[in-house]
Amino acid sequence: MWDKTSIRVQHLKPSAIRKYFAVPSDVVTLGIGEPDFTSPDKLIAAAHESLKRGNTHYTANAGIYELREAISDKLDELYGVKYDPDSEIIVTVGASEALYLAAATVLNPGDEMIVVTPCFVSYQAAVELADGVPVEVACRLEDNFDLNVQAIEDAITPKTRGILLGFPNNPTGAVASREKLQQVADLAAKHDLAVISDEIYERLIYGVEHVNFASLNGARERTFIVGGFSKSYAMTGWRLGYVCGPKHLIPQLYKIHQYLIMSAPTIAQEIGIVAMRECEPDVERMRQEYDRRRRLIVDGLNSIGLYTFEPKGAFYAFPQISGTGLDSTTFADRLLAECKVAVIPGCGFGQCGEGHVRTSYAVKYENIEEALNRISDFVSKLKK
């Protein structure tokens, strides 16, 4: 039996949170990190039309030009950030691919990447797959999970090559402030670091401003903006994302993308154009519904006695469960086994996530109500 697999894959830990996704049908799940909405009708119709026209071939490696143009226009319209569709945008297989491309472009073996936590489970893995070393720097509940700039600076060593951050944040729902983001941009310039800014939840914000990292003073030349269609347009299954960066860096990412992927799925790209050009009302419709659910879940969890910071973006709430005396894995396992509610242990999102669980409100309003009833019973039983 051949078993000499690479040290790289042997060291990679399987995602600790997968087991909370595949749950029996009597479980109310707040575990999933994807919209419960189906992609907008207009997109499904556009996909049918595109297939009928025989669009089953590869596209340009960097993606259909019109889609790159649509991405460029959107970033300009929303943030006044200009990216040249010819040379500064690559359409990828989800934001997931974009994260890897950026990490692999920045890191040499053994280089360090500061990963701002709590964070999406793939960040550390993307760094490790690029043979780098993730160095976690925590955002704190007492700072409303905003950036801790001093802690980031303290973590910089001669091996540090970049900072990877994601706001609006999965799992906390925090939206970083302009002030702190500018301080991180200044830090990156001072220490000559790259910045990978995952902004996939940029459109799901509730009453606050989302700041595009490349729009900050002095940031654009060292920044990769990672974006996607999965969350704002309810397009997880189409696998479509993008990465934008300066002209002198994008050709390096392009080489990896070209050999690894060739081109993102053609039909997904075709409807991505329609999404960006015509689906603004759908984005707003879904955002408003998430907002309604957000208020329900935050009030509900707080009244159960699980302190919950008010998320300002994405579709997650991150209640503190340490007061129950259980660690996050035990809390999630027992809640699942005893009350049939799935949540994700906070420790899956970086060491500092311990003491919390992630609940998603990308699920139906009634399901959140039912989950809250069950969590309330569970927590009261623990107190007895």
Using CB under 6 A, list all residues that contact ligand PLP: 33, 94-96, 120, 166, 170, 198, 200, 228, 230, 236, 241
Question: Which lies closer to ligand PLP via its Cβ, residue 34 or residue 131?
Answer: 34
Question: Which lies closer to ligand PLP via its Cβ, residue 166 or residue 350?
Answer: 166
**DSSP per-residue letters across 156-176:** --TTEEEEEEESS-TTT----
Residue from 102, 87, 58, 100 nearest 263 by CA? 58
Q: How far is the CB of 337 from ligand PLP (least distance, A)?
A: 25
H and E: helices and strands count for the chain: 12, 12
Question: Which lies closer to ligand PLP via its Cβ, residue 274 or residue 304?
Answer: 274
Is 345 within 8 Å of 17 (Cβ atoms)?
yes
Question: Which lies closer to ligand PLP via its Cβ, residue 320 or residue 360?
Answer: 360
Q: And the tokens for 98?
A: 């974009």
Residues contacting residue 293 through CB under 8 Å, at least 6 positions apart? 315, 361, 363, 365, 368
Question: Which lies closer to ligand PLP via its Cβ, residue 94 or residue 132?
Answer: 94
Q: How far is the CB of 98 from ligand PLP (least distance, A)?
A: 8
Question: Which lies closer to ligand PLP via its Cβ, residue 87 or residue 236?
Answer: 236
Question: Which lies closer to ligand PLP via its Cβ, residue 231 or residue 378?
Answer: 231
CA pair distance 362, 98, nearest whole angstrom: 24
**Residue with the closest Cβ to ligand PLP?**
94
Q: How far is the CB of 359 from ligand PLP (least distance, A)?
A: 14
Is 105 within 8 Å of 113 (Cβ atoms)?
no
**3-state SS of the chain: helix, strand, coil percent to 5?**
45, 15, 40
CA 165, distance to chain mean position in Å, is: 9
CA pair distance 136, 248, nearest whole angstrom: 28
Question: Which lies closer to ligand PLP via its Cβ, residue 95 or residue 137?
Answer: 95
**What residues are paired with 344 via a beta bridge?**
358
Question: Which lies closer to ligand PLP via its Cβ, residue 170 or residue 212?
Answer: 170
End-to-end CA separation in angstroms for the chain: 54
Q: How far is the CB of 313 from ligand PLP (least distance, A)?
A: 11
Q: How far is the CB of 283 from ligand PLP (least distance, A)?
A: 15
Residues contacting residue 363 through CB under 8 Å, at least 6 positions apart? 28, 29, 30, 32, 36, 293, 371
Q: How far is the CB of 152 from ligand PLP (least distance, A)?
A: 18
Q: How far is the CB of 241 from ligand PLP (least distance, A)?
A: 4
Return the half-sphere exposure (C-beta side, CA atoms, 13 A cut-off) of residue 29: 17
Q: How far is the CB of 376 from ligand PLP (least distance, A)?
A: 27
Question: Which lies closer to ligand PLP via its Cβ, residue 349 or residue 378?
Answer: 349
Q: And the tokens for 341?
A: 């509610």
Q: How far is CA 338 from CA 17, 24, 325, 342, 360, in A?
A: 19, 13, 17, 11, 20
Residue from 290, 292, 324 nearest 306 by CA? 324
